[in-house]
Chains A and B, each alone.
Chain A
Amino acid sequence: MWSKRINGSIETEAFPAAPDLVMVFGPTERLADQAFIDRLAERYDGAILTGCSSGTMVSGDQIDDDAVVVLGMGFDHTRLALAVQPLPDSDLSFAAGAGLARDLADDSLAGIFILSNGLNVNGSALVAGIRSAVGDTVVLSGGLAGDGARFSDTRVLARGGNPSDVVAAIGFYGDHVRIAHGSAGGWQPFGPLRTISDAAGSELRGLDDEPALALYERYLGEEAADLPASGLLYPLEIWDPQKPDDRVVRTLLAIDRDKGTLTFAGDMPQGWKARLMRGMFDDLINGASSAARHAADQAATWGVAPSACLAISCVGRRLLMGQRTEEELAAVSTVLGADIALAGFYSYGEIAPQNLTAVPCLHNQTMTITLIGERT
């Protein structure tokens, strides 16, 4: 297997061979440009071409808000397949996930990498849909496309198009391919313990019988004007009071001031406990480092070095860390070494197995690392 990241011009930079898989991450307006997509398709004819939009791209240990990053991979013993399902409405997330899994399911299926539109999706339901069809034995990772702090349009690159209402998944087949994961946040809960008193699906109305929107506005102060993007500064840690050790982080995706609701990138079960979280730069950077460490530890057992790394980090981290964002990539690079082809994007939600249980699920506000290698 080979892999190479191109973060200059596709016209001037070339891969060492014809790639089997090309992943493209770029600003929304670039990916919305069909002519650009056509050029990519023409150039990488014969490869599976996919990718998604984002406000910030990862290119090695650097970030770039404007550039398109292309990651090409060539496999020697691994078959790939692409599945695409329409996802015009978040209510269809489970069905879309199940559809993808059915399309890809095969005895030799070893892993799935998903890229979903970032706005009309319930990531938890999408993952549940996939798991419903392939179970927990197939490793699953990926992320939701992003749009920086705008939250207005996300794109998924698939089958030569760039729609904003689909979810795409790549299936990796055979027993040569190796995929490892790590996911960590580094956010710290703070303030009083709260209870989700009024919620439906991923929509939250009340915490402790108080309007949740008012709570966010109070904490954000003048930055409340930038909601929902500024809401990413304060994710919620939530958990079932019956399983206090099993906690998930939910990030804010949208608000509706008229209805007084906050929409999160996953279910908000009524009765669950919740605490606001905030990120200290160093904690977040340590989180990214530990995600990489977790993945690297798995890869260390392969007998072959990982060739490519997909780093999907949450847009909330980008918003909070500003110019210090690159430090989390530097931390990842430090763990993985300079030789690996590292690309990725800042997302509206990350998908990866849980570090402890290995059960795939939707993460929020994390750095999620997917390492890919192939044994000879």
Chain B
Amino acid sequence: MTLSALPIPVEPPAPPRPALHQIAARQAERARLPDGGIDIDRLLALVSATYTETDVDRRRSDRANRLMAEELEVALAKSALQNLRFKAALDNMNQGLALFDAAGHLVLTNQRFLDIYGLNQATPGSTLDQVLRSSPYLSVSTASEHRRLVQEYDGAASAYGAKIEQRWPDGRTITIERTRLVDGGFLDTVADVTEARNASAQIAHLARHDALTDLPNRTLLRERLDEMMRNARRGDRCAMLCLDLDRFKLVNDTLGHPIGDALLVAVAERLVSLVRHHDVVARLGGDEFSILVQHVTSDHAIEQLCRRIIDELTQPFEIAGHHIQIGASIGVETVEVDSLDPDTMLRDADLALYRAKSGGRGNYCFYTPDMHVFATRRRELEIELRRALKSEEFEVHYQPQIEIGSHAVVGFEALARWYHPERGIVPPNDFITVCEEIGLIGAVGEFVLMRSCRDAACWPESVKIAVNLSALQFKSGTLPAMVARALRVSGLDPRRLELEITESAMLEDTAGVIKQLRELKRLGVLISLDDFGTGYSSLSHIRNFPFDRVKIDQSFVRDLGTNSDSLAIVRAVTGLCGSLGIMSTAEGVETLDQLNILVAEKCDSAQGYYFSRPVPLADTLPFVSRMLALQSRAA
């Protein structure tokens, strides 16, 4: 026997009385005759009218339904087109966009959203959780942070427009912004701001770092100082080292800026390797570095650090095939962090550096209060020099140049002297450098040139005047015009004026200097190369410009007779000059022995204490006469 479901018989509910029954009842009532019978014609007319009405109503409904369907179809087509346009617009947005309904179910996303999350698709109806779970780019924490937004929104309805920024595991920076919608849903806008953030981070980095070496710059150094001051413990000491590279300018000038830059980078690397991680190595500009050393235990430790730095930077650098040797000078200031004033600390370390450099290169020096006195003294010197120029305290002395063969005076070298009202005569070494540093060299140089030309015009025609030019005098480009004016004013024969330049003048803007030298040559003046042998690319300079004279530096002359290397150099230079047709002059001749060697080496002329110190103008002509007399006696 098998069992099967059997329909259970139920009593059907009593059907409601159909509307038409009610109508029929009313119609019957209306057709009722006074005697209780029915007026059949009247009843049929009413029934017929009902059929007609029902038919009309059905036709109206059909028509309305059909038209409504047509209209809705057109509206749907329009809406589909609109959706298509919307989709195109949404997909081409820079931001990713995901719309969720009030129940938190995904309504739509644009293509950018899928791209950002690395999704092939996001199914409408999914929850945010499901969407985030399917992204290959999110870590557990970034996804949960995004989800947290939902809770925040649900928790605080006022938190409209909140935004979070996430760093994703793949390195991207993503911002997520949520906007609550009127229907209770929300719109997540997602933007990949990696580039913008990187750029602003880069800008922020650049603002605080040196572009070349990537070391902290002055701004960051100041920030670190401030930070250190905030976090300092009582009695904590720190040191500021100001460091300058020795001979860096020469490297830059001779090997070019790219090599100079590479050297700075290499120096930076060495410096960083020498300090502890919490110390700060900063580049303040040019070849100036500073090192903030924290938690200093003793001066001795700092001294050791300074020595290590100097040792390390003195080791040769191999850069682009060049073997480069530089050095470093360091100024140090150590203070208790409690009493630190950043500006003062940097200034004092700088003063110490100045002292270190003035004591010869490759030194370090701790700041002492007397350095402040020295700095003050120098400021006074500047003021005095400006005054001296105005009140004509400068004078020119002349050192004779003697032709070695004939002992005739062939010229004088003009040398500036400062008649200080209180300190008496100040030699050029004590003020020329300062003049160069404070921009007075142009005016002092002009004074010397004008005065020398005027004085030389009174000398015999066979006597020339040699005037030193500072490298800085070439900078303005007006030197040829100034020389021309001096010649014009004095009436001196241009062939009697000899302008002496050092090699260093040739090093910077060589082309510009050579151009001005050629202009000077065209005026008819002679050009000599001063201090020859102490510079670097001597021979190329001699080749690049037709010098009339080369002056052999006194350091070689001084060692003649005692140092064979010096003799070799003097011999090489005089030989070179002889073969190139250039006159040679030896400077700093002090002994007869030196003179005899120069005679033997066929040097053309000489100057030095052996013949005469620099003398005032009044003594020049008598000296010429005396030498002339000596010469005739010898003859």
**In whole angstroms, what is the CA distance A281 to B61 when docked?**
12
Question: Would you give the shortest CB distance from B239 to chain A, in whole angstroms?
Answer: 72
Q: List 8 A-B contacts (CB under 8 A).
A: A191-B72, A282-B19, A320-B57, A322-B49, A323-B27, A323-B49, A324-B53, A326-B26
**In whole angstroms, what is the CA distance A340 to B138 when docked?**
75
Chain A residues 227 to 284 lying within 8 A of chain B, measured CB to CB, are: 233-234, 278, 281-282
Look across to chain B and name the residue whose beta carbon is closest to the beta carbon of A278.
B64
List B contacts of A234 (CB < 8 A): 64
Question: Would you give the shortest CB distance from A87 to chain B, in whole angstroms?
Answer: 34
**In whole angstroms, what is the CA distance A42 to B331 when docked?**
128
B63 touches A219 (CB 8 A): yes
Q: B27, B67, B75: which contacts A218 (Cβ < 8 A)? A: B67
**In whole angstroms, what is the CA distance A271 to B71 when docked?**
20
Question: Top 5 closest A-B pairs, CB basis?
Answer: A322-B53, A191-B68, A192-B75, A192-B71, A221-B63
**In whole angstroms, what is the CA distance A192 to B19 when docked?**
31
**In whole angstroms, what is the CA distance A323 to B54 when docked?**
10
B64 touches A323 (CB 8 A): no
**In whole angstroms, what is the CA distance A195 to B578 when docked?**
107
A190 touches B64 (CB 8 A): yes
| CB within 8 Å for A219 and B64 given contacts A192-B71, A323-B53 | yes
Chain B residues 152 to 181 lying within 8 A of chain A, measured CB to CB, are: none
| CB within 8 Å for A223 and B60 given contacts A190-B68, A191-B68, A218-B67 | yes
List A contacts of B22 (CB < 8 A): 327, 330
Q: What mask results when residues 61 to 83 of chain B are scored 1 for a CB within 8 Å of chain A, else 0? A: 10110011001100100000000
With A191-B67, A323-B46, A324-B19 known, 17 other A-B pairs at CB within 8 A are A191-B68, A191-B71, A219-B63, A219-B67, A221-B59, A221-B63, A233-B60, A278-B60, A278-B61, A278-B64, A281-B19, A281-B57, A282-B19, A320-B57, A322-B53, A323-B26, A323-B53
Q: Does B23 contact A (CB under 8 A)?
A: yes
**In whole angstroms, what is the CA distance A129 to B22 when docked?**
44
Interface size of A by CB at 8 A reads: 19
**In whole angstroms, what is the CA distance A324 to B54 when docked?**
10
Chain A residues 202 to 230 lying within 8 A of chain B, measured CB to CB, are: 218-219, 221, 223
List B contacts of A221 (CB < 8 A): 59, 63
List B contacts of A192 (CB < 8 A): 68, 71-72, 75
Chain B residues 1 to 48 lying within 8 A of chain A, measured CB to CB, are: 19, 22-23, 26-27, 46
Q: Does B504 contact A (CB under 8 A)?
A: no
**In whole angstroms, what is the CA distance A363 to B23 when docked?**
29
List B contacts of A282 (CB < 8 A): 19
A324 touches B68 (CB 8 A): no
List B contacts of A218 (CB < 8 A): 67
- Which residues of A pack against B, CB within 8 Å? 190-192, 218-219, 221, 223, 233-234, 278, 281-282, 320, 322-324, 326-327, 330
Q: Does B50 contact A (CB under 8 A)?
A: yes
B50 touches A323 (CB 8 A): yes
List B contacts of A190 (CB < 8 A): 64, 68
**In whole angstroms, what is the CA distance A278 to B65 when docked?**
11
**In whole angstroms, what is the CA distance A234 to B26 when docked?**
28
**In whole angstroms, what is the CA distance A327 to B75 when docked?**
37
**In whole angstroms, what is the CA distance A178 to B508 when docked?**
111
List B contacts of A219 (CB < 8 A): 63-64, 67
Interface size of B by CB at 8 A reads: 20
Question: Would you give the shortest CB distance from A64 to chain B, in whole angstroms?
Answer: 11
List A contacts of B53 (CB < 8 A): 322-324
List A contacts of B72 (CB < 8 A): 191-192
B19 touches A327 (CB 8 A): yes
Look across to chain B and name the residue whose beta carbon is closest to the beta carbon of A218.
B67
Look across to chain B and name the residue whose beta carbon is closest to the beta carbon of A330.
B22
Please indicate which of the listed interface residues B68, B71, B72 has the most CB atoms of chain A within 10 Å of its own CB.
B71
List A contacts of B64 (CB < 8 A): 190-191, 219, 234, 278
**In whole angstroms, what is the CA distance A282 to B20 when docked?**
12
**In whole angstroms, what is the CA distance A20 to B550 when docked?**
142
**In whole angstroms, what is the CA distance A221 to B67 when docked?**
10
Question: Would you give the shortest CB distance from A235 to chain B, in whole angstroms?
Answer: 13
List B contacts of A323 (CB < 8 A): 23, 26-27, 46, 49-50, 53
**In whole angstroms, what is the CA distance A323 to B53 when docked?**
8
List B contacts of A320 (CB < 8 A): 57
Look across to chain A and name the residue whose beta carbon is closest to the beta carbon of B65.
A190
List A contacts of B75 (CB < 8 A): 192
Please indicate which of the listed interface residues A219, A281, A324, A330 has the most CB atoms of chain B within 10 Å of its own CB.
A324
**In whole angstroms, what is the CA distance A323 to B60 when docked?**
17
Chain B residues 546 to 593 lying within 8 A of chain A, measured CB to CB, are: none
List A contacts of B57 (CB < 8 A): 281, 320, 322
**In whole angstroms, what is the CA distance A221 to B56 when docked?**
12
Question: Would you give the shortest CB distance from B522 to chain A, in whole angstroms?
Answer: 88
List A contacts of B71 (CB < 8 A): 191-192
**In whole angstroms, what is the CA distance A67 to B26 when docked?**
18
List A contacts of B67 (CB < 8 A): 191, 218-219
List A contacts of B27 (CB < 8 A): 323
List A contacts of B49 (CB < 8 A): 322-323
List B contacts of A324 (CB < 8 A): 19, 23, 53
**In whole angstroms, what is the CA distance A322 to B23 when docked?**
11
Question: Would you give the shortest CB distance from B574 to chain A, in whole angstroms?
Answer: 105
**In whole angstroms, what is the CA distance A323 to B43 when docked?**
13
List A contacts of B60 (CB < 8 A): 223, 233, 278
List A contacts of B50 (CB < 8 A): 322-323
**In whole angstroms, what is the CA distance A330 to B25 when docked?**
13
Look across to chain A and name the residue whose beta carbon is closest to the beta carbon of B53.
A322
Question: Would you give the shortest CB distance from B69 to chain A, in whole angstroms?
Answer: 9
Look across to chain A and name the residue whose beta carbon is closest to the beta carbon of B54.
A322
**In whole angstroms, what is the CA distance A324 to B68 when docked?**
26
Question: Would you give the shortest CB distance from A319 to chain B, in whole angstroms?
Answer: 10
Question: Would you give the shortest CB distance from B27 to chain A, in whole angstroms?
Answer: 8
Question: Would you give the shortest CB distance from B359 to chain A, in whole angstroms?
Answer: 86
Look across to chain B and name the residue whose beta carbon is closest to the beta carbon of A234.
B64
Question: Would you give the shortest CB distance from B557 to chain A, in whole angstroms?
Answer: 103
Look across to chain B and name the residue whose beta carbon is closest to the beta carbon of A320.
B57
Chain B residues 331 to 346 lying within 8 A of chain A, measured CB to CB, are: none
List A contacts of B61 (CB < 8 A): 278
Look across to chain A and name the residue whose beta carbon is closest to the beta carbon of B69.
A191
Look across to chain B and name the residue whose beta carbon is closest to the beta carbon of A62.
B26
**In whole angstroms, what is the CA distance A327 to B50 when docked?**
14
Question: Would you give the shortest CB distance from B506 to chain A, in whole angstroms?
Answer: 85
Look across to chain A and name the residue whose beta carbon is closest to the beta carbon of B49.
A323
Question: Would you give the shortest CB distance from B566 to chain A, in whole angstroms?
Answer: 103
List B contacts of A278 (CB < 8 A): 60-61, 64
Look across to chain A and name the residue whose beta carbon is closest to the beta carbon of B74.
A192
List A contacts of B68 (CB < 8 A): 190-192
List A contacts of B63 (CB < 8 A): 219, 221
Look across to chain A and name the residue whose beta carbon is closest to the beta carbon of B63.
A221
Look across to chain B and name the residue whose beta carbon is closest to the beta carbon of A221.
B63
**In whole angstroms, what is the CA distance A330 to B386 when docked?**
120
Question: Would you give the shortest CB distance from A2 to chain B, in whole angstroms?
Answer: 28
Please indicate which of the listed interface residues A191, A234, A278 has the most CB atoms of chain B within 10 Å of its own CB.
A191
Please indicate which of the listed interface residues B19, B49, B60 has the most CB atoms of chain A within 10 Å of its own CB.
B60
Look across to chain B and name the residue whose beta carbon is closest to the beta carbon of A223.
B60
**In whole angstroms, what is the CA distance A218 to B57 when docked?**
16
**In whole angstroms, what is the CA distance A280 to B426 when docked?**
121
